[in-house]
Structure 1
């Protein structure tokens, strides 16, 4: 028999697990996660749209693959440079703010916590962005490289990119702690729109008399 003063409080397991998720700061992943997800989605959508745009007016598989490869190289370099410049500017702003706070003698808990925070890494963000773009761009390239029939090739590219978009949306949602279905639907619909618009406009220009 328990003593009168012995009070046992049971905490539901679900509440503990939920509290554990709430205590985890997903913003710690924001820097590299943003660069990786953005780069992968851009690689998928941009290169697939380029290849489908070329495929709208040219049935040659070699033309599609070369266009995709050129887009991969150009896009990876552009993503890396853009991310480096952006994150480096952010780094300079944060360092300057820390110096101003030290100069005016604002020594408190807020500053101590800030000094412990990891400052943004421009090179890390640039490399993550370029690598993710390249990995994403490889999906439509590999999908189109070994298929001879033109219509089948276009269908396979769209299917492979759609599947990859869902996977990347799911990975980003899980790592970022956001809603999975909404994340997958958002990237998938966006990718479809980009490919459809590129195909339609290129087909329209091609049918107006311009020959490739």
Structure 2
């Protein structure tokens, strides 16, 4: 009888970018719509503002993710090059270092030495990248993937409050966008948590709480500007 566990960590790269993009799309666009509407702006202008926010936000998320993850990838590559040089110049010392790492994880000295020797005979750089530096194929930085997932998720998230603002009468716009956006956030948070194998209720609550806070503060700012004007 075989035993197979379905782990979730291989999803961490794209899931983080997608969750961040979708959440930011809903929160920032809904907050923008609510803030502008609270200042007494006509519905047409509110929609134009929301569309502009969608385009700008998607490009900002893509660029930000690409630059950020590229920086991480550059650091990882620099570490790998440094390790590669060290393996070429001090192979035996690197083997001892790897064995010491395994000893700190609970292996006895002889077994740790044997494991280090066999792993380095198979893939020395891979063994040190994984166990010394902490770089693996699962968690390695992928800039283009992060940028695409983040931008696409932002567009989807931003489109939801925009659609609500388009079909709802102006008198009910603020309330409808706020309430339905919170529902969207709860669903997104729950789905993200389920995909990542975490608690659905906790995932839904935390994104809903911060989304409600952001929309509330933005509505207050919009109302203040309406009074001032």
**Pairwise TM-score range, normalised by the shorter structure:** 0.7 to 0.9
The separation in 2 between residues aligned to 1:73 and 1:142, in whole angstroms, is: 15
The separation in 1 between residues aligned to 2:136 and 2:23, in whole angstroms, is: 32
| Partners of 2:62 and 2:147 within 8 A in 1 | yes
- Pair 1:162 & 2:176 matched: no
What CA RMSD, in Å, does the superposition of the two structures yield over aligned residues?
A: 2.1
1:53-92 to 2 correspondences below 5 Å: 53-92=35-74
User: Quick one: which of 189, 198, 204 aligns to 1:178?
Assistant: 198
The separation in 2 between residues aligned to 1:146 and 1:25, in whole angstroms, is: 41
Residue 137 of structure 1 is matched in structure 2 by 158
State the shift of 1:59 in Å: 4.6
The structure 1 segments of at least 4 consecutive aligned residues displaced by more than 4 Å after TM superposition are: none
Task: State the TM-score, normalized to the length of structure 2.
Answer: 0.77
Deviations 1:126-177 (A, max 9, x none): 01110000000000110011223x2312222112211110110011101111
The DSSP-based 3-state class of the residue aligned with 2:198 is coil
The separation in 2 between residues aligned to 1:30 and 1:56, in whole angstroms, is: 38
User: Quick one: which of 184, 202, 206 aligns to 2:222?
Assistant: 202
Structure showing greater relative contact order (alpha-carbon pairs closer than 8 Å, 6 or more residues apart): 2
The DSSP-based 3-state class of the residue aligned with 1:104 is helix
Deviations 1:61-82 (A, max 9, x none): 1011111100000100100000
State the shift of 1:85 in Å: 0.3
The separation in 2 between residues aligned to 1:81 and 1:160, in whole angstroms, is: 28
| Partners of 2:23 and 2:188 within 8 A in 1 | yes
Residue 123 of structure 1 is matched in structure 2 by 144
User: Quick one: which of 30, 50, 53 aligns to 2:32?
Assistant: 50
State the shift of 1:111 in Å: 3.7
Task: State the TM-score, normalized to the length of structure 1.
Answer: 0.82
Give the gaps of 5 or more residues in structure 2. Answer: 88-93, 96-115
Give the gaps of 5 or more residues in structure 1. Answer: 1-15
State the shift of 1:202 in Å: 1.6
State the shift of 1:33 in Å: 0.5
Gap change, CA 1:27 and 1:116, over 3 Å in 2: closer
